[in-house]
Amino acid sequence: MENCARWWREWEFWATLAVVVAVYCSRLGDALPNGEEPRRGQVAREMIRSGDWIVPRQQGEPFLSRPPVQNWAIALVALARGQVDTLAIRIPSGIAMLLTSTLIYAFSRRFLSRLGAMSAMIAFPTMGLVLQFGWLGETEAIYTLVVASSLMLWRIADADGKRPLTAWCAGYGLAAVGMLTKGPQAPVYFIGGAAIYLLIAGRWRDLFRWQHVVGIVLFLTIWLGWEIPFYRRVGSQAAWTMLAGDIGMRFQDPSWTRTLKHFVEFPLSVLACMLPWCFFLLAYFRRDFRNSIGFARDEVRFLSVAIGFAFLSCYLVPGARNRYLAPIFPLVAPLIGLVAQQCYTVAFNIELTKLRQRFFLGMSVAIAGLAAWIGGATVFHVGPFNGEQPAAFAICYVLAAFGAIAAAIWASRRAEPLRHRLGILAIGSFLGLTYIGAIVNIFVATRHPIGDDIAEVVKNVPADVELVSIGPVDDVFLYYYGKPIKKLPVQDGSGKSEPKWTYFCMGCGPEIPPFNYPYEKLGVVSVESAYSANPHDVVIIGRRLSDSTAGRTADNVR
């Protein structure tokens, strides 16, 4: 094994990092915010506006969906940029992906060669699920960074044998940040993985040393530093909802059919999320391969225990989703890198040779299929929903596919480390191009400009008038509208009171609030991400009328 003390000087690291930068730090502002992104951006905006960095809020009221770390990150970027926009929402996720990928390489180089570490580093950011969430301004990217770091940095310091205090403080400190990002899953993953590893390794006494106690105290200090002021402002019920609300949702349907379906589908869906790189994990089912990795026994044991515990904690919860295991995917990456390394270091292992060849040849077929899809969709003009691209990009994409196919076939021919390096770099780059190029192009072409629609409608609302909402209004509308919208109780729209307001908005859907006042409809805005002739989720903007005025207005009066 080469000296890994200066891993940051290795070209493999920088080449892979360049791919990660290209995928996760380019085109951040091209596609409109979608999904949870407007919600996260709106909460950050209200933090800046109110100066309250303790309680996440929407329309001035506590928003009990996630603890505030991601909102803090977005707000800090927004303060630097001067506004909460698409870049402010997504930059924290892009930075988190760069740091996570760097951590994987540094962790892997402790027991893997440069080829193995490079394979691990390229595998994580180009897994199917990671490509979906890593580019977006959602919680998963930051959460994955802090949870994976809690386990990996703990193990790095623990393996040294001389820094137990550093190990426990790093692990528990990052677990606390993870808890402030998404909830109690973070400390569960860390404590379960580290404790079970120590028990299996016969080191149970380490759990009772003073350094471990210091780590626990640090965890409580960080977590309670936010939890206590939050509790004092919102009360016990709201604090409990923030802590356990999302977890409780996963136990609401305990039917045996759902449970059985979960037990069958969950492992398969988790593997699908790690495509195409999970193919390398098949090697661990072979005894001869497991016998060949004795030099990495402790690291494999630690990674396997941490992954296994996290998987079991989700597998036993019928409502758990595969993305709950995203923070553990960085721990899977070194195991993939280990297989890739052994394909070139285990002499005369025919099965590993076949595994390597099948991976590269299989990927060449998959890449050809993707190129045929994009090329065919563009030539036959089937529409952006079905994959049609701008002609210039489609040509470049098909040419890139030919290059990636050639590199994959070349890498499959002979067991040469350089061929493998260039082969996986080409595959990873093409997977990244597929998402950041083709998929983002689809997003750009199919998402309707909600902000433009809102701006057109609110031209009829005087600039100095504050819009109110009857009950809560969709967070997408809140984000794109940009100005404060005071939320009125639902009963204020039923005619039972006489509030002093004129211009209003209200959601329209299965839970449309009662509204018994006559009003003029100024416009209807769809808050669905994609174009739809008959949108289901819309927001009505209107002007309340007096009874006398209502009788003399046009047909759009209700």
| pLDDT above 60 (res 36) | yes
Q: Is pLDDT at 348 greater than 60 in this prediction?
A: no
pLDDT greater at residue 228 or residue 160: 228
71 vs 68: CA distance, rounded Å: 5
| Range in 91-95, 128-132, 315-319 the model is least confident about | 315-319
What pLDDT shows up at residue 346? 66
Residue 201 pLDDT exceeds 90? yes
Spatial separation of the C-alpha atoms in residues 390 and 401, rounded to whole Å: 16
Identify the residue whose tokens are 């070194």: 334
- CA-based Rg of the chain, rounded to a whole angstrom? 26
Which of 10-19, 261-270, 403-412 shows the lowest per-residue confidence on average (mean pLDDT)? 261-270
Position with higher pLDDT, 500 vs 188: 188
- Bridge partners (DSSP) listed for residue 523: 541
**Cα dihedral across residues 201, 203, 207, 210: positive or negative:** negative
Backbone angles phi, psi at 198, to 5 degrees: -65, -40
What is the model's pLDDT at position 555? Answer: 47
> Per the confidence metrics, is the pTM higher than 0.85?
yes
Give me the phi and psi of 435, to 5 degrees please.
Answer: -80, -55
| 510 — pLDDT class (breaks 50, 70, 90) | low
What the block records as the tokens of 398 is: 């098909």
Q: How many helices (H) and strands (E) does the chain have?
A: 22, 7
Where residue 252 falls among pLDDT bands split at 50, 70, 90? Answer: low
Please tell me the predicted confidence (pLDDT) of residue 551. 47
Give residue 6's pLDDT band: very low, low, confident or very high (50, 70, 90).
Answer: confident
- pLDDT for 253 equals 61
73: confidence class by pLDDT, cuts 50, 70, 90: very high
User: How far is it, in rounded angstroms, from Cα 332 to Cα 155?
Assistant: 15
Residues pairing with 371 in the sheet? none
State how far the Cα of 285 lies from the Cα of 301, in Å rounded to an integer.
Answer: 15
Instruction: Give mean pLDDT, residues 536-558.
Output: 68
pLDDT at residue 347 greater than cutoff 70: no
Query: Over pLDDT 70: what percentage of the chain?
Result: 92
pLDDT tops 80 at residue 498: no
The pLDDT-based confidence of 327 (bands split at 50, 70, 90) is very high
- Cα-Cα end-to-end distance for the chain: 77
- Contact of 1 with 113, CB cutoff 8 Å: yes
Task: Output helix, strand, coil percentages for the chain, rounded to the nearest 5.
Answer: 65, 5, 25
Mean pLDDT computed over 446-474: 88
Helix (H, G, I), strand (E, B) or coil at 523: strand
Give dist(CA 292, CA 278) in Å, integer: 20
Length of the chain: 558
Local confidence band at 17 (pLDDT 50, 70, 90 cut-offs): very high
- C-beta atoms surrounding 319 within 10 Å: 18
Q: At 130, list the tokens.
A: 């990671």
pLDDT (tens digit per residue) in 99-147: 999 999 999 999 999 999 999 999 999 999 999 999 899 999 999 999 9
Give CA separation, 78 vs 147, 182, 346, in Å.
25, 21, 51
Question: Looking at residues 255-272, what average pLDDT do you find?
Answer: 88
Confidence of residue 312 (pLDDT cuts 50, 70, 90): very high
509 has pLDDT over 70: no
Percent over 90 (pLDDT), the chain: 68
CA distances from 31 to 70, 113, 335, 411, 517 (A): 20, 38, 34, 35, 39
- Does residue 512 register a pLDDT over 70? no
Decide if pLDDT at 487 tops 50. yes
For residues 148-157, give the mean pLDDT: 97
**What confidence tier does 547 reach under pLDDT thresholds 50, 70, 90?**
low
284: tokens are 């661990």
Question: What pLDDT is stored for residue 552 in this prediction?
Answer: 44
- Cis before 514? omega within 30: no
Say yes or no to pLDDT of 9 above 80: yes
Q: 164 vs 318, which has greater pLDDT?
A: 164
Spell out the residues 6+ positions from residue 435 whose beta carbon is closer than 8 angstroms to its own: 23, 131, 132, 135
Q: What's the mean per-residue pLDDT of the chain?
A: 90
Q: 394-436: per-residue pLDDT in tens?
A: 999 999 999 999 999 999 998 888 999 999 999 999 999 999 9
